[in-house]
Amino acid sequence: MATAPLLPDTDVRADFPGLGGDWAYLDTAATAQKPQAVIDAIARAYGPDYATVHRGVYARSADMTFAFEAARETVARFLGAASAQEIVFVRGATEGLNLVAQSWGDRLEAGDRILISALEHHSNIVPWQLLAQRKGIILDVAPLTEDGRIDEARLIAMIGPRTRLVSIAQVSNVLGSMADVPRIAAAAHGAGALLMVDGCQSAPHMAVDVQALGADFFVFSGHKLYGPTGIGVLWARAEILESMPPWQGGGAMIETVRFEGSTFAPPPQRFEAGTPHIAGAIGLAAAVDYVMSIGMDRIAAHEAMLVDAARTALGRINSVRLLGPEDAAGILSFVIDGVHPHDIGTILDEAGVAIRAGHHCCQPLMQLLDVPATARASFGIYNNMRDVERLAAGIERVTRIFGGAA
């Protein structure tokens, strides 16, 4: 198998200092490596540019406030938001989902329903379970098709008059299967429900336009988009954010505070209590600029090529069972007969190939697949055909060690 050029005419691997040496990093779905441009932006933010935001009257604070709010503008353009005021900075998608569950969800009444799918990450299950315990709502779960997609026909049929929210992953973090979000959005809105989209595995790998998707809420985590940890985004339509009460109290989210009562700032500041992750937002903007300079359509095409090549290579090994659809977005999960995924990961690590092995925060999906865990190879913009070759060679070695038929 010949080594293909990376992103046809651009070799970006050298931009990532974490990829030094001959290391095949295939765990981008868990967290992405960081380009030097992001590292430099964070270093400047914590170094010569550092000051607080929104509060200082001195020049550097004003400059940092401008940079912080410019980061919000950058993310808004990246998502196709109508306004930067629809962008709430959070610690990650998990916090964004919990924010919606605790703030927007407070209006729900006993007997109201929230609909999710069987492939959701724990972060798109547990917040709704906690809300159900608190408010007496009902959590419905849509099934999957045989090839690991959300069964959209069944999901749409499950949307009823008491369904208040449909919350689904645009791309599964285990199977890489993609949902037809506009179709689901149309069905949800037709029944008077809103749509939450978990974009953790879509925002880093394909073009996203929240308005074209028809979403009402969209979340993603910065560290999966080649940005820093501890920063993420909740996007929501402006009128929805305006209707939501604060979920945390403190500085920055208020207009006035008196012992008799307080009034609150408009969105997004209403949901950003305390000193924000200033350097994180600036680092996230640098990551967005980096991927946009390459082009999201080019990134999607590159990763699709790598997944296709990996499915072909591993599909030739008799004891390997591939999971998920053939057109998975950047992710390939698999199991090997008689071999625990942790053993697969350990043996691959000895050969300089890093994959993820486990339940991937999707224990209900593992139960549905009737496996304790899977091995998962996930691709990013820095991967190439050499990484696919090394993955296949490593899996062949695993089957030899465990006596499988290669």
Residues annotated as catalytic (active site), given as ranges? 361
Torsions phi, psi for 113 (to 5 deg): -130, 145
275's tokens: 């000193």
| Residue 50 CA, distance from chain mean position | 28
- As given in the structure block, the two tokens for residue 133 are 């315990």
Q: Which two tokens stand for residue 355?
A: 């994959």
Cα–Cα distance measured from residue 105 to residue 37, given in angstroms and rounded to the nearest whole number: 38
CA gap 395, 311 in Å, rounded: 12
What distance lies between CA 70 and its chain's CA centroid? 22
Based on DSSP, count helices (H) and strands (E) in the chain, helices before strands: 13, 15
The CA distance from 382 to 90, in Å, is 27
Q: Quote the CA–CA distance of 155 and 185 in Å, as a whole number.
A: 11
Q: Where are the alpha helices (DSSP H) in 238-277?
A: 238-243
Q: How far is Cα 4 from Cα 197, in angstroms, rounded to an integer?
A: 34
Sheet holding 232-236, edge to edge: 87-90, 232-236, 217-221, 194-198, 163-169, 113-117, 138-142
Length of the chain (residues): 406
